Amino acid sequence: MKPTQRVRLKELFESRPNVKIPLWPDIANLCIMQYNRVISELKKIEGMDIKNYTEPVDGQHHSCYLYTPQETQKEMFAIDNTGK
């Protein structure tokens, strides 16, 4: 059985945690027609922390997405609480 769009996109994010993943070509190559809907599902249903950024490329703004796993968030929070 072919993986769903949500599974394919989740696998991409989980394979590259804490790395900005460009919409083009990385996410576009998955052929997910409504990628915003799928990202929204990953955030709401799967509880994934995915943020959207724009990066300048040759004078244009290109979208990219950053997935931060909960383990990384916990580590960052622990560092912030120590005052370091």
Instruction: Report which of residues 81 and 15 the model is more confident about.
Output: 15
Q: pLDDT tens across 29-66, in order?
A: 999 989 999 999 999 999 999 999 999 999 999 999 99
Instruction: pLDDT band for 77, please (50, 70, 90 cuts).
Output: low
Other C-beta atoms closer than 10 Å to the C-beta of 23 total 16
Q: Which sequence spans correspond to the domains of the chain?
A: 5-81
Instruction: Report which of residues 72 and 46 the model is more confident about.
Output: 46
| Tokens of residue 17, six digits | 């945690």
The residue-averaged pLDDT of 58-75 equals 86
Q: pLDDT tens across 3-32, in order?
A: 899 999 999 999 999 999 999 999 999 999
Q: How many residues does the chain have?
A: 84
CATH T-level topology, domain 5-81:
Arc Repressor Mutant, subunit A (1.10.10)
What element of type H or E holds 10?
helix 5-15
